[in-house]
Structure 1
Amino acid sequence: MFETVTTALDWLGIVAFVITGALVASRKEMDIVGFALLGTATGIGGGTIRDVLLGLPVFWVHQPAYLVTCVLVSAIVFFTAHVPQSRYRMVLWLDAIGLALFAVSGAEKASLAGATGIVAVAMGVITATFGGIIRDLLGGEIPVILSREIYVSAALAGAAAFVVLTMLGVPRDLGIGAGFAIALVIRAAALQRGWSLPRYRPRPGLPHDRR
């Protein structure tokens, strides 16, 4: 049952991220091959890094249906990308959903693989954020990780909530739901209200004689 839930979360997160990658391709006016490449790299990028770091078989290598789905979803977006009024806003909101899904599924998969709590949280963050980073780098966009609004912290909060709750004996399905909700609410509030963590401010250094 646990593996079924994790697989379902992976599928939902992948589809959400594939759409964001394909929408970025539409903003760059790429051809259908570019859509497929950017959508696929976005959809499976974070999960691939997670599996490699955990020493697990890379999920899409043994289940090509993931690749086929990425290509098909990218092709659908190629013919429908003109429908949304604001593709950029849609990218941000679908990215928020994918972020929340992958934060929990990444932590869940690491936990099932026997990783410690800290490692499981780290895997959740990596799974949730690296697909978006790959998308923005390949698409020539400013990486969303560099945005002023809270991004990585939302994934961290969701993954940590799931791991802590399961350690406390909370049923895994409730932990998954809580982790997803926390990550999504934080990211959505950051988008709506411009929430951000305090940033570093340049300030004068110490005098030479005190260094």
Structure 2
Amino acid sequence: MLAPLVLDLLGTFFFAISGSLLAARRGFDIIGSLLLGSLTGLGGGVIRDVILGVTPNAFANPVYLAPPVVAAVLVFFLSGTVARLPRTLLVFDGGGLALFCITGTVIALEHGANPIAAGVLGVTTAVGGGLLRDVVANRDPQLFDPHDLYAVPAMLGAALIVVVWSLHGYNPWTEAAVAALVFAFRMLSLRFRWHVPLAAVSRHPA
């Protein structure tokens, strides 16, 4: 099984890249890029750990500070290249979403959370950083975009992890399969503009 630390750091890096890319598009300076990348990469995990009543990994292990730094530096030097790839932010955001719905759920299960609570915390880990990123950058959160499925792939991934964990089938293969499925689902939803029904039926006056 891939070490949870490795998956968590990869997810942190992917989300931090998306935060730094958004900072660059908003015209922030390098410090703003670092802070927004850190908030995006670490925010979801901090929320999860606070709910679980444990010291957040971001504060307990200094290595978690490395991915946001690397992300900010990469975006700084490669901004011209990534500017020519308009969907880069969404791709890295999808990668972070796919990994964090797994690690968030597994960490919750390892701390004794029941399956439903673990799934909820997995989704929270996956969408929390992106939500904080969008709010701080003064952008309409993707989480609440009626034309997006932002949380649905994370819900699917967290649910699958709970199932395979309960069946004692959690291993590197199921881990990789769930991550690939969530990422593919996220990319396809963007490509084909999938969305779920609105909270209320739209009523037009006669």
Q: Is the TM value for this pair above 0.5?
A: yes
Paired residues of 1:99 and 1:184 also in contact (CA < 8 A)? yes
In the alignment, is residue 16 of structure 1 matched against residue 39 of structure 2? no
2:45 alignment counterpart: 47
Q: Distance in 2 between matches of 1:47 and 1:111?
A: 14
After the TM superposition, which segments of 4 or more aligned residues of structure 1 sit over 2 Å from their partners? 85-88, 171-175, 200-204
Same amino acid, percent of matched pairs: 36
Query: Which residue of 61, 74, 77 maps to 2:75?
Result: 77
* 1:187 aligned partner: 186
Question: Partner residue of 1:208?
Answer: none
2:203 equivalent in structure 1: 203
Distance 1:174 1:163 in 2: 15
Partner of 1:178: 177
Alignment gaps of 5+ in structure 1: 205-211
Q: Secondary structure at the match of 2:3?
A: helix
SS at match of 2:81: coil
C-alpha displacement of 1:170: 1.3
How far apart, in 2, do the equivalents of 1:180 and 1:85 lie?
Answer: 27
Q: What's the TM-score once normalised by structure 2's chain length?
A: 0.91
Structure of greater Rg: 1
* Residue 174 of structure 1, CA deviation: 3.1
- Provide Cα deviations, 1:35-71, integer angstroms capped at 9, x if missing partner: 1110111110000000000111110212112123312
Specify the code of the residue in structure 2 equivalent to 1:173: P
Per-residue displacement from partner, 1:83-127 (whole Å, max 9, x unpaired)?
A: 124454111111011101000010011111111111110111000
Q: Which residue of 1 aligns with 2:59?
A: 61
Q: Post-superposition shift, 1:149?
A: 2.0
- Classify 1:103/1:171 alpha carbon distance in 2 versus 1 (closer, same or farther; 3 Å): closer
8 Å contact from structure 2 (residues 94, 183) kept in 1: yes
Gaps of 5+ in 2: none
Corresponding residue number in structure 2 for 1:27: 25
Q: Contact between 1:149 and 1:195, CA under 8 Å: does it hold in 2? A: yes
Write the letter of the residue equivalent to 1:56: V
TM-score (norm 1): 0.89
Structure-1 separation of matches of 2:86 and 2:139: 11
**Number of residues paired by the alignment?**
202
What does residue 152 of structure 2 align with? 153
Residue 132 of structure 2 is aligned to residue 137 of structure 1: no
Report the aligned-residue RMSD.
1.6
How far apart, CA to CA, are the structure 2 residues paired with 1:174 and 1:156?
19
Alpha-carbon displacement from aligned partner over 1:119-171 (angstroms, at most 9, x marks no partner): 11011100000100111111111211123121101100001001101212213
SS across alignment from 1:81: helix
Q: In the alignment, residue 63 of structure 2 is paired with which amino acid?
A: A
